[in-house]
Amino acid sequence: MARLGAVPQQIAGGDIYPALERGTIDAAEWVGPYDDEKLGFYKIAPHYYYPGWWEACSMYSLFVNIKEWEKLPKEYQAALEAACYEANTDMMAEYDFKNPTALQRLVKNGVRLHAFSPEIMRAAHKAVFEMYEEEAVKNPSWKKIYEPWKKFREEEFVWHRVAEQTLNTFLLNNPNPVGK
C-alpha cells in the first residue's frame, strides 16, 4: 500500500472503528461485508471500494514445526490435515453464504459501492509484483516459493480463461434463464 502512496497503519481490530471515527485513519481494510457490517464500519465509512485485490480469497493456515510434525503418528497427521481442510472449506463456504446478504444490507444502510479503477488495479498489480521480485533477490526462502508459484499462476490463468472466466462471465450476464 505504501508503494501506492498510502501510509499503512497496523492497528488492532477493536481499534479500527474509533480510529476511523476520530479521523486517525482515513480508511480500513477488514475481512468483507459480513464482518465489516458486524463491526459497524458503514456507520462512519460509507464508501466501500472493491475488489480486495490484495486478498482475493481468505485462507486459513496452520504452521507446525517439521521436526514435531514428523514425530506424530501418520494417523494424527492425516487427522490434522483433514481438520485443516474442513475448517478452510467451511470458512470459505460460510462467507460465500453470508457476504451477499450483508452487502445488500450495507447498501440499504447507505453504503456506496465504488470499483477501483483499472488504473489503480494496474498500479497495485505492478507494485506487488515489483515487491515480489525484489524480495526474491534478497530472500532465498521466498524465491524458492515464489518462482514455482509464479510459473503455476501463469499456467493456471490459461485454464481459468478457458473455463472459469468464460463460465463466470456468461453466468453473471445471464443470472436467471427463466426470468423473475
In a domain, 55, yes or no: yes
Number of domains forming the structure of the chain? 1
Residues 8-63: pLDDT tens digits? 999 999 999 999 999 999 999 888 999 999 999 999 999 999 998 777 777 888 99
Number of other residues whose CB lies within 10 A of the CB of residue 41: 21
Residue predicted with more confidence, 58 or 67:
67
In a domain, 26, yes or no: yes
Q: Which helix (H) or strand (E) holds 141?
A: helix 140-162
Cβ contact 44:21 at 8 Å:
yes
pLDDT band at 180 (very low <50, low <70, confident <90, very high): low
In a domain, 158, yes or no: no
In a domain, 60, yes or no: yes
Determine the pLDDT at residue 52: 84
Q: Which domain holds residue 65?
A: 2-118
Helices (H), the chain: 13-22, 33-38, 66-71, 74-108, 118-138, 140-162, 164-173
In a domain, 103, yes or no: yes
Residue with cell 532465498: 140
Predicted model pTM:
0.82
| Beta partners for residue 113, in sequence order | 48
| CATH number, residue 103 | 3.40.190.170
